[in-house]
Structure 1
Amino acid sequence: MKKMLLCTTLLFTGVAFAGGGSSMPSGNTIAAIVSNDPNFSTLLAAVKAAGLVETLSSPGPFTVFAPTNAAFAKIPQADLNALLNDPAALKSVLLYHVVPGKVTASQVTGLTSATTVNGADLNISTSGGMVMINDATVTKADIMASNGVIHVIDTVLMP
């Protein structure tokens, strides 16, 4: 499964590069941080396939709940392939991970919901020191970027 996921990731990353899209983001933007962290290679491939690199490089600010490669590996392979091959659905799913504004961990813990860039709401809960975004657990918080903040999650959020 991991080998298949890696091959899929490499395939889509290659497609994104071959498509003549933007080059690797630079600086300290959300897009640059994601592109420079190997734990986000599947997310990076998805962001490129959905045409969102420029959005996540723009001034923002944004709060991104970023799923790791392990989070994407929880999705059945056929479903992940279908999602990666449907740019509109992929964009909707990815924008469901983005909240307008810079919301730090201390602010997130005081919320019960947040409206995402795609217009849908996320449920936020805190229990035993753990923050949950829908069914995803925040595993690392407050990765500061020049255009917002990233909170790492262990599950891909589905609208």
Structure 2
Amino acid sequence: MKIFNKTLVIAMALPLVLGSMSAFAGQDNQQHNGGMNKGHHGGKIFSQLDLTATQKQEIKTLRQANRSEHKAQRVDNYKVMQVERQQLEKLVLASNFDESAVRAVAEKMSQQQVERRVKMLEQRHEMLNILTPEQKQKYAELKQQQSEKHLMRLEAKKYH
């Protein structure tokens, strides 16, 4: 009977322990991603640039337009990626590996990623062109500081 009780206690405790570990991991991940998302498009940095009311409104308008465009394309992009992943899965599961077919699908996927990246950078360029030359300089300095802090955090985590 004692073995049964011990087994029962372990069976009940194990999910609790694993659940709490994943909760802590999720919390850390949320904190990290939260910090990244705030600075990802420069939102945190823009608040340090002493923008005029007009600049703030122009940036807000651009962000809303970009967000609307992104949301409109999200479903279509997902469908395209899903089809490409299915193509790759079929190629991987085939009895013979067809490198040229895999390469063609991978290159198509890469080209789409390049196009998305170019579009994102074009949007960022539009937003940064709202700034004065002095604000651009300060923006560059703040981005450099942000990059250095991020690198220091990564290096600190590396040794833990």
Bin of the TM-score, shorter chain as denominator length: under 0.3
Structure (1 or 2) with the larger CA radius of gyration: 2
Higher RCO (CA-CA < 8 Å; seq separation 6+)? 2
Bigger helix share: 2
Bigger strand share: 1
TM-score (norm 2): 0.22
